Structure 1
Amino acid sequence: MVFVPSFTGTILRLRGQLELRCHLDSTDVLRMHKAISETFETLRSQVKSESCVLAVCDSPVVIWPNKGINVTPEDITPDTLCEDLHQWIQSDEQESFGKKSGKKKNKRSSAASVINLHLMMEVTNPGPLSAPILSRTVQKSHFLSATLPMDCVVCTSCDDTIKDACKHLVEALTHQLCEMEKVTLRHMKGTTLFVPEPLHFLLPEPKALVTVVYPAGVADGQLETQRKELHQKFELADDRPYFRRANAYHFPSEPYKDGYLRNPHLVLTHPTVDDGKVYLVQGIYSYHHYMQDRMDDNGWGCAYRSLQTICSWFQQQGFVEQPVPTHKEIQQALVDVGDKQSSFVGSRQWIGSIEVQAVLNQLLGVTSKIMFVSQGSELASKGRELANHFLTEGTPIMIGGGVLAHTILGVTWSETTGQIRYLILDPHYTGAEDLQVITDKGWCGWKGPDFWDQTAYYNLCLPQRPKII
């Protein structure tokens, strides 16, 4: 377990590949398990040997953790502080490595709080080489071969030295190999081996990164027993998923491959409301808006985009495994439930909160509450209901009124004065995925009660969170 509160240290993330090669001269289960365990023990010996090498990514720094903490360049010693490694790491804007690069002054940025290292093994030994010997043995056997994707995370304090970090990293590697061995033996079928894959999960309170090893190729639905054990171990409630693959922690330096922005509201400053409290969406969502996915829906697709944002929340919290639906898939779902005629598929017709509720239920099995507001001026009195929704459910809310739809991500509300501000994610944006433009221009921003048309009626779709592990 790696604790990650608002600490002043550095997270070290070590990744690399180790080759698992095992000869099985029998298909007897006990003998196979013994041979596999012996192979894992050999790998654990390797990571503790002098041939183990740790290379700091994007830098000239190389460390031999089991060879007296041997480090290059020579300016670095075993007693060098871990956080001082930042000054040796080359950023995209820099042309050279080393202390003169000026990296050190940037090491407190969010991206710089993680140092990536690469695990390697020396393949040659010092001294004269012996002549190769070739032998041939004829026998029936099974040969198991797999590449183990090692991925260890260690949190260091500001006082930790490279020597301290090396000790923790080697221990983490050894422990992860033990966990991989357990998963391999637990899920092995005959001579078929499922490659163990490590994933990191950020637990709520206290905030901590926990590494879990799952068998690759085995669906989340088949791992419920293992997840229940983890919930019990870390004393987590059984009403929401914490350890599904979709919940794996996303490191700040890694871009999302799909190109969508995540949680743009996090860069905003909360508005000041007398005696007010802030109630926000819980978890991660993607920002979906006009003109994405090569779809020209400008002028008619705002509710579709708000629905896609909601679907992304359920997907990225691990409640569902289905991908975010396209416009046509949304339309087809409404045809399937009998809400629309078949000619609706492929059209440019609007949908509203009631349709959003129907699609969530049809495609994701998610139920929703509908809040009816006869005129926009009444929204200012809905602070208690909205605050309670974000406290208990934490899902994005779709609101539709007239011909416009928006997504509500939170409220700042005062129980004593009734003052309220709404955190709005606007699906009508048509530009690029530029966080600064989106937040500076108010496409994601805090709005007052006058944001709503005071005389128009509104329907709000409040998705309910399923109670599952």
Structure 2
Amino acid sequence: MENCYLLVLGDSQSSGPETILRVRGPLEFKCLLDRTDALLMRKEISRTFETLHSQVKSESCVLAVCNSPVVIWPNRGVCATPEEITPDTSCEELKQWMQTDEQESAGKRSAKKRGKKGPATSVINLRLLMEGTKPGPLPAPVLSRNVHKSHFLATTLPMDCVICTTCDDTIKTALELLLELLTHQLHEMEKVILQHMKGTKLLLPEPVHFLLPESKGLVTVVYPAGVPDSQLEAQRKELHQQYELPNDWPYFRRANAYHFPNEPYKDGYLRNPHLVLTHPSLDNGKVYLVQGTYSYHHYMQDRMDDNGWGCAYRSLQSICSWFLQQGYVGRPVPTHKEIQQALVDIGDKPAPFVGSRQWIGSIEVQAVLNQLLQVTSKIMFVSQGSELSSKGRELANHFLTEGTPIMIGGGVLAHTILGVAWSETTGEIRYLILDPHYTGGEDLQVITDKGWCGWKRPDFWDQTAYYNLCLPQRPKVI
């Protein structure tokens, strides 16, 4: 099944930063049927897609660079306005014509390039448009009236294509590939519509982008909108075979869709704050990190005053967010009361526990993960904090094989371990800690500068207190 395609343009060995070019826009699908028998409908739908292909290849196709005065006609020899934009202009130079939100709100609408840098984003958005009229005199309108019964199928195709470019790639080269991808995406949308037709009802095709591991690049898959991931397992298996991916990670579930760096998360939580940190340098040391995406959950979020008692709940929420955002589960991150209710449901706590301000520990975290997410966990017991320094191999192996965040509880404190830097030869170790005791706003610089997410030495732990570590195990599914 040819239902996906690589979206890499620049050579991985090229110098300079990468820029993503993303083209989005609606194409109107309108199909008039004299009869509704299946064979006729399929033929008419295919003819309608042929018309859309012609539109994309026509001189009426227009690409407008968002937040800029740049408009390009890619099928007219890459004709563009302003005139300074030529086919040999680099993709990177387009940023110099783009306005930031601050400039736009202040009314600074510049029509000329003045050497100013574009916004600090690696994404250039383009809008797919079609000219409604052609230059020259217009013919006189002709009206005709023809009465007959017919069935009208109409929908809007959400075209969405992306490529990765480097500073060496020209607009001409990039747009040729984008047009090729738009054409290919139309083919895939036609397949999805024909495959999932039910009578005269059409399922809307849905392009979804995924960033694959091991430098395989960005890949786009066209899924039928409204069909849940549980019904697309056969298609995902084919994709795993096509890209030689292991069958124990849900790379192509919608929750794993690539998040573009210029789009904020709507829920307000920070994602992966550890990515801005510099790794510690150890003699012959290696760094082993959480795999995938998680949200940072901490005190005082969600209008919940849990300062002083909710650290383990927040660590558990960060772990649950990891399973949600990797597509292993569809359940939202549980609230404090939902966590407490789960412990009551399994008989671990009495009914009055719900709504209380009582602490929980690693064993309770293990129980809730199993109850709410059907995720099993291993428990590592450490009789005193000084012994954590000897657990480098076990922790490194966990992040290599499972890749999930670890909840650690000791005394009255709980933290989340996101990784370790460990030297097999010297035994030296550092811990990457996500601290749920933070009470401030979602300020990445404050969180990292103040060490709420940061690398810690072994003396971070109470050397005489005992600790329990909850190591969630990753389900082996596609």
TM-score by length of 1: 0.96
**Cα deviation 1:56-79 (Å, max 9, x = unaligned):** 111110001112221000111122
Correspondence for 2:88 among 75, 79, 82 = 79
**Cα deviation 1:92-136 (Å, max 9, x = unaligned):** 3443433215116x7xx5x2x321111111111222223333333
Correspondence for 1:126 among 129, 135, 148 = 135
Q: Determine the C-alpha separation between the residues in 1 that align with 2:205 and 2:446.
A: 42
Letter of the 1:102 counterpart:
K
Correspondence for 2:178 among 169, 180, 189 = 169
Worse-superposed segment, 390-399 or 201-210: 201-210
Q: Determine the C-alpha separation between the residues in 1 that align with 2:99 and 2:115.
A: 7
**Cα deviation 1:315-374 (Å, max 9, x = unaligned):** 111111111111111111111111111211111111111111111111111110001111
Write out aligned runs for 1:217-232 (5 A): 217-232=226-241
Letter of the 1:2 counterpart:
L
| Secondary structure of residue in 2 paired with 1:154 | strand
1:286 paired with 2:295, answer: yes
Letter of the 1:144 counterpart:
L
State the match for 1:14 in structure 2. 23
Correspondence for 2:441 among 432, 439, 447 = 432
State the match for 2:323 in structure 1. 314
Q: Determine the C-alpha separation between the residues in 1 that align with 2:288 and 2:403.
A: 9
1:103 paired with 2:103, answer: no
State the match for 2:373 in structure 1. 364
Shift of 1:452: 0.7
Letter of the 1:120 counterpart:
L
State the match for 1:275 in structure 2. 284
State the match for 1:59 in structure 2. 68
1:376 paired with 2:381, answer: no
Q: Which runs of 5+ in 2 are unaligned?
A: 1-5
State the match for 2:359 in structure 1. 350
Question: How well do the aligned residues superpose, as a CA RMSD in angstroms?
Answer: 1.5
TM-score by length of 2: 0.94
State the match for 2:222 in structure 1. 213
| Secondary structure of residue in 1 paired with 2:317 | helix
State the match for 2:400 in structure 1. 391
Q: Determine the C-alpha separation between the residues in 2 that align with 1:93 and 1:103.
A: 13
Correspondence for 1:236 among 240, 245, 251 = 245
State the match for 2:189 in structure 1. 180
Q: Determine the C-alpha separation between the residues in 2 that align with 1:284 and 1:142.
A: 46
Runs of 4+ in 1 over 4 A off after TM superposition: 4-7
Shift of 1:414: 1.0
Letter of the 2:84 counterpart:
D
**Cα deviation 1:136-171 (Å, max 9, x = unaligned):** 333333211111111111223433222222211111
Q: Determine the C-alpha separation between the residues in 1 that align with 2:301 and 2:225.
A: 32
1:193 paired with 2:237, answer: no
| Secondary structure of residue in 2 paired with 1:398 | strand
Worse-superposed segment, 262-271 or 184-193: 184-193
Q: Determine the C-alpha separation between the residues in 2 that align with 1:160 and 1:457.
A: 57
State the match for 2:99 in structure 1. 90
**Cα deviation 1:355-398 (Å, max 9, x = unaligned):** 11111111111110001111111111111100000000000000
Q: Determine the C-alpha separation between the residues in 2 that align with 1:156 and 1:267.
A: 23
Change (3 A) 1:334 1:137: farther
1:251 paired with 2:299, answer: no
State the match for 1:158 in structure 2. 167
Shift of 1:211: 0.6
**Cα deviation 1:413-451 (Å, max 9, x = unaligned):** 111111111000000000000000000000000111111
